[in-house]
Structure 1
Amino acid sequence: MTPVSSPASTGLAPLRTVQVTGGSAAGSIHVRSLAAGLIARGVRVTVCAPSDTEHTYGFAAVGARHVPVPRSSDPASVAALRIACADADVVHAHGLHASFRTVLALGGRNTPLVVTWHNRARAGGTARAALLKVLERRAVRAASVVLGVSSDLVDRARRRGARDARLSAVGLPRVLPAGGAARAGAGAGELDRRAKLRAELGALGRWLVLAVGALEEGRGHRLLLDAARRWRDEDDTPLVVIAGEGSLRGELQRRIEHEGLPVRLLGRRDDLGSLLTAADVGVVADCAEGRSLFAQEALHAGLPLVAADVPGMAELVGDGAELVPFGDAGKLARAVSALLVDAGRREELVRRGAWQVGAWPTEDETVAQVLSVYDELTQPLPLA
């Protein structure tokens, strides 16, 4: 195994790392950012990910070698992963299922394994919960180091038997300039574009509330519709728009139509920056991510945010957002309504949110932390 502190500057053979991801948004965005930073520091990076994930996130575009590996844990997928990891100095798996597949692929080799947990895995029943616990234990006990993006994930890894679990609050790329520049310092052209988008969404002359996330279980969309039912008969009814696509679209759309809810499903969007600028308030009704991607974008863009107080959220947003108890549609609805009519409170949240953003790690700091872990695992032990 090659001892490397800074491959590009030491003249030693470059460190070889394999990044394994199953395709979750948080994990894949981090892998792309991490790959770019590692490659800039002279590290050779291979990314094992499904082909559609490569198409979406473009690992090869930042200089990584992409090896298509399906999300499945079937023998063919595990074999492909085993071949890709054959000459790696460090293997880094992102997410529970990716880390479990990687453990199977490494098959007891002494290659250092780093595991990062980005999301909070959830189980829908007793049998599934028991299986989930087994997978978590298998993954973290085989890992040399487990990195959790929030303190609750670090604690969870330790409870499952991790030998070494550490906090790694990852820094991610942004879709808007820092400080909500597109909102606070908008010129006439930007204001015109904002007004045009609000008109297209049907929000001229009314409040616009934005939620973002796949239309899947665990995203809180049903709860958000429950809250919207409470706004339906108000004199100043806000319009709720949800950007995202998924298997619950039919169910949610039927509810919207049957109950006459002031909600629009926008489907997949590639203009998140514009939506953040156009909205008056953002909402996170539920989140399994250790560091909510949408909450980060909202605070960074200067969009006042109401978020469920799920594990990791308070740690992420501090006092830069209104936190409400998880699962309480009434309190969620009241918090949003109160914020919409209180311009002073919205401005205060924007200021506090900007301060909170400044305390988050940068992409470079995240890469440096991960590289220091790799360096630690690949350095030879000192002679006695």
Structure 2
Amino acid sequence: MISASAPAYGGTPPYGAGLHAVQIVGGGGYGTGPHVRSLAAGLVARGVRVTVVATPRAERLYGFTDAGAQVARLPVGRGGEVRTLAVLRAACAGSDLVHAHGLRSGMLAQAVLARRATPLVFTWHTKGEDEGVRARVMPVLERSVVRASRIVLGASTDLVDRARRRGARDARLSPIAVPAPRIPAQPDERARQKARAELGAVDRPLLLAAARLEPDHGHGALLDAARRWRSLSPPPLLAIAGEGSQRAALQRRIDDERLPVRLLGRRDDLPELLSAADVAVLAGAWEARPLLAQEALHAGAPLVAAAVEGVAELVGEAAELVPAGDADALAEAVSELLASPERRHRLAAMGRRQAAGWPTEDDTVAQVLAVYDELADALR
């Protein structure tokens, strides 16, 4: 059996030696990449052999090899689907179980394991807001993946409920813990002011958002709100960290409307940016445990977020919640926070308390190990 209470690091793990777990993450993301990196490190420390199936870019960003995992790199370019399946088949050959993160990874795992007895664990991190044909197809794909999985781990209670509605045999809540950012006990004011100066927010408030620049992440409402913030004196600067297919379209709108917004591209210094910001803003339509919300509360950055189920469950009362997609409510909530240092200070303190009660990385690894233990026993 695999010990769920083994020490996180150091020593000789008493159990787990010889178990081979394949983690499929693909291109990763702001939440899935750090989670799989953390999970791989914890599993390896407990004696589990881990293979992470990821794109070369995800390996560079998240350092799965540095966490002690073997990495099977997915191909990019033309003919990628056929070669992707070949890489997956080779990676999963002889494994004890396969753990897919995200719906696309789940579909790939299902295809590879169709004629094998290897158990599939599926972690459901997030759901998108789909339209048109995709909205009609997605429930079919979701149903197929969850029914093919021995166990579904949902990052929030509504994802667990969704998995059960789709026919999951076994669906459980599994909050995703990522490494807590290293925030100094005494913030470095010089570093804070330097970061603000580099962004162009020396004499004006700084707002920070971080999300992929994709259609379902609320950037339209965010720019609508930024248009309203132009009337404030001084108008705050909104800095958005992230990359995606909508970057060019968003930049055109920023330029055409002369919005006080800067697109920062992908950043790996989110904790430092949060320490410099006056308010963090999360306008995405739906994410179970968005990285920005977790890091904002850890850092003590006042947060305004869309009141969707996953986020509301995560932050409790330690953030200002507004209806998703409501630019007026978003603009008003941020404006009121900027006008009230006392409220910002209270939210910062509440956020740190809320974050202190979240599951740790060790808690997450322990739960996953317990799941693997069940499946390993069932196969004996």
Same topology, TM > 0.5 = yes
Q: Deviations over 1:37-71 (max 9, x none)?
A: 00000001111112221121111111111111248
For 2:191 and 2:14, how far apart are their aligned partners in 1?
Answer: 51
For 1:288 and 1:102, how far apart are their aligned partners in 2?
Answer: 25
Residue 381 and residue 89 in structure 1: after superposition, are their counterparts in 2 closer, same or farther (change >3 A)? Answer: closer
Does the 8 Å contact 1:220/1:285 carry over to 2? yes
Does the 8 Å contact 2:3/2:16 carry over to 1? no
For 2:292 and 2:285, how far apart are their aligned partners in 1?
Answer: 10
Q: Deviations over 1:323-352 (max 9, x none)?
A: 001111011000000011111111111111
Q: Of the candidates 240, 256, 281, which is equivalent to residue 283 of structure 1?
A: 281
Q: In the alignment, does 2:46 pair up with 1:41? A: yes
Does the 8 Å contact 2:53/2:72 carry over to 1? yes
Q: Which moved more, 1:251-260 or 1:342-351?
A: 251-260
Letter of the 2:345 counterpart: E
Give the corresponding residue for 2:28: 24
Q: Which moved more, 1:297-306 or 1:344-353?
A: 344-353
Q: Deviations over 1:145-187 (max 9, x none)?
A: 000011111111111110000000011012333xxx45xx23x
Does the 8 Å contact 2:128/2:216 carry over to 1? no
Does the 8 Å contact 1:115/1:140 carry over to 2? yes
Residue 380 and residue 314 in structure 1: after superposition, are their counterparts in 2 closer, same or farther (change >3 A)? Answer: closer
SS in 1 for 2:263: strand
Q: Of the candidates 127, 134, 137, which is equivalent to residue 128 of structure 1?
A: 134
For 1:381 and 1:244, how far apart are their aligned partners in 2?
Answer: 42
For 2:322 and 2:92, how far apart are their aligned partners in 1?
Answer: 44
Does the 8 Å contact 2:296/2:303 carry over to 1? yes
Letter of the 1:243 counterpart: A
Does the 8 Å contact 2:25/2:100 carry over to 1? yes
Give the corresponding residue for 2:266: 268
1:99-248 paired onto structure 2 within 5 Å: 99-125=106-132, 127-177=133-183, 181=184, 185-186=186-187, 190-248=188-246
Does the 8 Å contact 2:13/2:45 carry over to 1? no
Deviation at 1:280, TM superposition (A): 0.3
Q: Deviations over 1:234-282 (max 9, x none)?
A: 2231111111222222222222222121111222223222211111000
Q: Deviations over 1:169-212 (max 9, x none)?
A: 011012333xxx45xx23xxx21121122122221121111111
For 1:365 and 1:9, how far apart are their aligned partners in 2?
Answer: 17
SS in 2 for 1:242: strand
SS in 2 for 1:315: helix
TM-score by length of 2: 0.93
Q: Of the candidates 59, 74, 97, which is equivalent to residue 54 of structure 1?
A: 59
Unaligned runs of 5+ in 2: 7-11
TM-score by length of 1: 0.92
Percent sequence identity is 56
SS in 2 for 1:283: strand
Give the corresponding residue for 2:252: 254
Give the corresponding residue for 1:373: 371
For 1:319 and 1:12, how far apart are their aligned partners in 2?
Answer: 40
Does the 8 Å contact 1:4/1:379 carry over to 2? no
Residue 130 and residue 204 in structure 1: after superposition, are their counterparts in 2 closer, same or farther (change >3 A)? Answer: same
For 2:255 and 2:16, how far apart are their aligned partners in 1?
Answer: 64
Does the 8 Å contact 1:50/1:70 carry over to 2? yes
Deviation at 1:11, TM superposition (A): 6.9
For 1:285 and 1:78, how far apart are their aligned partners in 2?
Answer: 35
Count how many residue pairs are aligned between Structure 1 and Structure 2. 371
Does the 8 Å contact 1:4/1:14 carry over to 2? no
Q: Which moved more, 1:48-57 or 1:11-20?
A: 11-20
Give the corresponding residue for 1:66: 71
SS in 1 for 2:98: strand
Deviation at 1:108, TM superposition (A): 3.0
Q: Deviations over 1:345-381 (max 9, x none)?
A: 1111111111110111000110000000000111148
Does the 8 Å contact 1:150/1:169 carry over to 2? yes
For 1:80 and 1:270, how far apart are their aligned partners in 2?
Answer: 29
Deviation at 1:4, TM superposition (A): 4.3
For 1:10 and 1:282, how far apart are their aligned partners in 2?
Answer: 43
Give the corresponding residue for 1:299: 297
For 1:111 and 1:35, how far apart are their aligned partners in 2?
Answer: 19
Q: In the alignment, does 2:88 pair up with 1:81? A: yes
